[in-house]
Structure 1
Amino acid sequence: MSGTRAWHLASRPSGLPDMTNFELKEVELEPLGEGTVRVENRWLSVDPYMRGRMNDTKSYVPPFEIGAPLQGGAVGKVVESSSPDLAVGDTVFHTMGWREQAVGEAKHFTKVPAMGVPDEQWLGNLGLTGATAYFGLLRVAEAKEGDIVFVSAAAGAVGSAVVQIAKAKGMTVIGSAGGAEKCAWVRELGANAAIDYKAGPVVKQLMEAAPKGIDVYFDNVGGDHLDAAFACARNQARFAICGMIEDYNTGSNHAFRYIMRMIAARIRMQGFLYFDFLSDMPDFYRDMGGWIASGKVKSRETVREGIEAAPQAFLDLFSGANMGKMLVKL
């Protein structure tokens, strides 16, 4: 047997996690059995949803176990194979991240399509984050040409993809981000307006940016942003609820001042998960691949180096330290 290093959950966090909740340990990799492969990870993804898995609560995915290796999106190369489905040298993406190498059945690894894009794109615009943006905006919110779209966390991985998809589809886009630099980048992506939530109340800024109201809200934040969307929603507005990062580490519930507008404006609000649309991934690859090739969708990554950097990269998501997708390069 050979070994590899992997980050483990040392303890369950209360509130915002810190480095004491993580432990980097050597683990033994089992010899390959029939139909299994060994993958050397090259890129690791850290994503806000992982915070929920650190709690011992029932959710759409099982919680991380204390003392067990953490899991997350990763892209790597097959370095050993006993499966006819994957060959040595194949590039694959999978969910056994937070570690340097992974061993498992070939069915748990997906060979990346030959699209001539950098490997890290399979964790960003061509991966979970891009697909979340695509399906949330176009399928859940049913956004269409001419709609006025409001996007929170517009400088983040999912939000920046939403901005660009909406523009590619002929929509007016208002993005919210924290700070002048991030707002400038959101405008560079094509947003018609950018709100700096650190500069003043979101609801006032959104009313000024969208005097006619909004048709679609793509929510990554919750809290004041969601309340502002209630305040500014037009009749028959559609809200796609992707993540409420504002409350991930507090456990508190926001008091919504404008939620009663849901009734009069007949607002439709729907939560969703990437996994709901796996059968439609060919549509996503076709459209997103075309937008990337044409330059309509661009990527930006915040990259940290080395397996040692993974926990801090994850923690930095909650202070807005990333522009675009946060990745760890091994």
Structure 2
Amino acid sequence: MVKARKYVVKQAFKGKPKREDFEIVEYELPPLKDGEILIKAEWIGVDPYQRATAHYMKVPYDQFGYQVGLVVESKNHKYPKGTKVVSFEGWRDYSIVNADSPPVYHNFNNTFYKLPNLQGLPESLGVGAIGMPGVSAYFGFLDICKPKAGEVVAVSGAAGACGSIVGQIAKIKGCKVIGFAGSDEKVKRLETELGFDKAFNYKTVDIVKALKEAAPEGIDCYFDNVGGEISSAVISQMRSNGRVSIIGSISAYNEDGLFDYSTLPKATIVQPFVLANQLTVQGFTYSNVETSRWPLAFDDLTKWIKSGQLKAPEHVTEGFDKVPDAFVGMLAGENYGKSVVKV
């Protein structure tokens, strides 16, 4: 028998998640059946969507999410011992998965597959730039914004897992890129390390004024991770036929009623700008992307990272006991790049 541990959300989050909202449950795993594999987690990803999804989960529930793991025992010839896999087994150190019929999770797709060929890159990227966040950035930006060389791209949450990738893809496509982040240090790193043409600390600048100075010609594409007043300000500065990809609303995730209109914070209306400039505004989640298309993103992202065209910054926390701390810290903006936990 293998002893396993998992994190359970024992009480609904009230505002910002707290460590005491979680508890570790220890349990024994049964012997493997035909078709099953035993996975030992090596890297666990913590992401903003886990906070958003919590709004419609009923407690208690096992904390879900992507992890990179090692097959340590197998009764499935397709996944022999030593195989590396990506699964949606969440915050647990050992898992049993029927590899021929992996579990289906509500509103999530591609939740079990072999780790892509990373060509020597860190395996942690399997829950980051060459995983779900990379897929979200790649298709959420390219499919919706359809950037053209010479256009101006604005990115909110630019120092996070998706935003940092989107800004660099935009540069690869020949665009001018402006990013917004939550600290002066992040702003500096966006400009000096990731090649953003200009970055701003949204907490300390007048966003409209900053955009008028940085991009007097206006914004063509906006990749929105944040929502709220930041986004209203950016949208007010967009040019005719601009495109907006809404991939997140981090500014409201800690509100008690994320999907309750009456309790959400209010922001300046954007309809006059959408109408006058004939903007295209579209929401996106990675589950919009057919599983068969994921390798396209993986191949390009791997190629760009290997060539040095794209950097994949990570904020690494060590230890299974630190997973909730990494999650809380990520939501507080402590991370630069993708937040991952080394188990």
The TM-score normalised by the length of structure 1 is 0.94
Aligned partner of residue 227 in structure 1, secondary structure = helix
Q: Which residue of 1 aligns with 2:15?
A: 15
Q: Which of residues 284, 298, 304 is equivalent to 1:291?
A: 304
Q: How far did 1:257 drift?
A: 4.1
Superposed CA offset, 1:214-272 (max 9, x none): 00000000012210122101000000000000011123142224432110100110001
Q: Which of residues 150, 164, 168 is equivalent to 1:164?
A: 168
1:182 aligns with 2:186: yes
Correspondence list, 1:172-211, <5 A: 172-187=176-191, 188-211=193-216
Measure, in 2, the Cα distance between the counterparts of 1:71 and 1:100.
12
1:282 aligns with 2:295: yes
1:316 aligns with 2:329: yes
Measure, in 1, the Cα distance between the counterparts of 2:87 and 2:154.
31
Measure, in 1, the Cα distance between the counterparts of 2:218 and 2:298.
32
Superposed CA offset, 1:16-51 (max 9, x none): 221221101102222211111000000000001001
Correspondence list, 1:134-145, <5 A: 134-145=138-149
Q: Which residue of 2 aligns with 1:30?
A: 30
Which structure 1 residue ranges, 4+ long, deviate > 4 Å from structure 2? none
Q: How far did 1:319 drift?
A: 1.4
Correspondence list, 1:49-198, <5 A: 49-55=49-55, 57=56, 63=57, 65-107=58-100, 108=102, 109-114=112-117, 115-187=119-191, 188-198=193-203
Q: Which residue of 1 aligns with 2:267?
A: 255
Measure, in 1, the Cα distance between the counterparts of 2:271 and 2:230.
12
Aligned partner of residue 266 in structure 1, secondary structure = coil
**Contact 1:202–1:224 (Cα < 8 Å) also in 2:** no
Identity %, equivalent residues:
40
Superposed CA offset, 1:65-119 (max 9, x none): 4233211110010001111210100111111121111111114331123332211
Question: How big is the alpha-carbon RMSD for the aligned residues of Structure 1 and Structure 2?
Answer: 1.3
Aligned partner of residue 159 in structure 1, secondary structure = helix
Measure, in 2, the Cα distance between the counterparts of 1:123 and 1:197.
27
Q: Which residue of 2 aligns with 1:60?
A: none
| Matched positions, count | 323
Correspondence list, 1:233-248, <5 A: 233-248=238-253
**Contact 1:125–1:161 (Cα < 8 Å) also in 2:** yes
Unmatched segments (≥5 aa) in structure 2: 103-111, 258-263
**Contact 2:116–2:298 (Cα < 8 Å) also in 1:** no
Aligned partner of residue 83 in structure 1, secondary structure = coil
For structure 1, which segment, 294-303 or 111-120, has the greater mean C-alpha deviation from structure 2 after superposition? 111-120
**Contact 2:235–2:270 (Cα < 8 Å) also in 1:** yes
Aligned residue type for 1:24:
I
Aligned partner of residue 271 in structure 2, secondary structure = coil
Aligned partner of residue 260 in structure 1, secondary structure = helix
**Contact 2:207–2:234 (Cα < 8 Å) also in 1:** no
Unmatched segments (≥5 aa) in structure 1: 58-62
Q: Which residue of 2 aligns with 1:214?
A: 219
Aligned residue type for 1:25:
V
Aligned residue type for 2:314:
E
Measure, in 2, the Cα distance between the counterparts of 1:204 and 1:299.
30
For structure 1, which segment, 234-243 or 135-144, has the greater mean C-alpha deviation from structure 2 after superposition? 135-144
For structure 1, which segment, 232-241 or 316-325, has the greater mean C-alpha deviation from structure 2 after superposition? 316-325
